[in-house]
Amino acid sequence: MSLIHRLATYIKDSPYLKLWACLVVDFIGFASFFVPFIGESVDVFWAPVSAFFLHFMFGTFLIPMIGLLEELVPGTDFIPTATIAFSIEHIEFCAPLRRFLGMSRARDR
């Protein structure tokens, strides 16, 4: 296993590090919102990276597709998809939504 994969798995398994990683991914996606016109074109490159991150961190198909659409649709960069997914994963009240999205809690894996 490569060093990068071990580090990513360590982050995935630590709730605090995973939250920070989600916040960073959302901030990067939101940062393109500050540069009119050019920022939206950068989203074409950032969207697949964000979707890959979401798939690796949450192990579901719907969350990355939502993240991909959120990055590609103009004007939706302000939505913190990764942080919302983290919240759904960790808040007990969200259990029905978690099941609908095909997510499992980190401690249940």
Structural contact between residues 89 and 97, judged by C-beta atoms closer than 8 angstroms:
no
- Residue 61 belongs to domain spanning: 3-108
- Which tokens belong to 32? 């393109």
Instruction: Summarize pLDDT for 25-78 with one digit per residue, the tens.
Output: 999 988 877 777 777 778 889 999 999 999 999 989 999 999 999 999 888 888
pLDDT of residue 27: 93
Domain count for the chain, please give it: 1
Terminal C-alpha separation, the chain = 20
In this prediction the pTM is 0.88
